[in-house]
């Protein structure tokens, strides 16, 4: 084997008990529409469905014993409600006290909350993509 070998993957993230459940599947290319379609067939424990996905590429060169991740995409969210810290504070109830404290403590300016399946809230990074419909 004298050439580099590459394989693309898509990892789906679904709400879990304490951390996200993950399912990784091979994919021919970083194809957002295909990944959205594939997400519909993913079901995790307790019926959790994906809130998002991320692509990765693993490569192995001719002298490598194993492959390694050589590229990753931003996170793609399958819809959701995006809120800024100011918006969370404006609508805050007693239930939002810990969320606001976490956002302030960790410097999170924006969050995303799932709008289908189990409720799941997490920081929304600048490079993340929220897909519509």
pLDDT at 17: 87
Q: Which residues pair with 83 in a beta bridge?
A: 111
pLDDT digits (tens, 9 = 90+) for 80-119: 999 999 999 999 889 999 999 999 999 999 999 988 788 8
Does 133 have pLDDT greater than 70? no
Which tokens in the block code for residue 53?
A: 């996905």
Per the listing, tokens 């070998």 go with 5
Using alpha carbons, list the distances in angstroms from residue 8 to 28, 31, 87, 98.
Answer: 6, 10, 38, 38
Average pLDDT, the chain: 93
Alpha-carbon distance of 105 to 100, in angstroms, equals 8
Q: How many residues does the chain have?
A: 133
Q: How confident is the model at residue 67 (pLDDT cuts 50, 70, 90)?
A: confident
Q: Which helix (H) or strand (E) holds 14?
A: strand 5-14
């Amino acid at each position: 084997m004298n050439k580099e070998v590459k394989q693309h993957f898509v990892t789906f993230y679904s709400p879990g008990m304490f951390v996200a459940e993950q399912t990784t599947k091979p994919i021919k290319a970083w194809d957002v529409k295909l990944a959205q379609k594939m997400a519909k067939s993913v079901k995790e424990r307790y019926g959790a469905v994906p809130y998002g996905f991320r692509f990765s590429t693993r490569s192995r060169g001719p002298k490598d014993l194993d492959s390694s991740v050589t590229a990753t995409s931003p996170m793609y969210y399958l819809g959701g409600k995006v809120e800024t810290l100011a918006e969370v504070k404006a609508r805050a109830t007693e239930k939002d006290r810990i969320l606001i404290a976490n956002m302030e403590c960790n410097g999170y300016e924006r969050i995303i909350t799932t709008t289908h399946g189990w409720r799941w809230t997490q920081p929304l990074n600048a490079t993340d993509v929220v897909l519509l419909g």
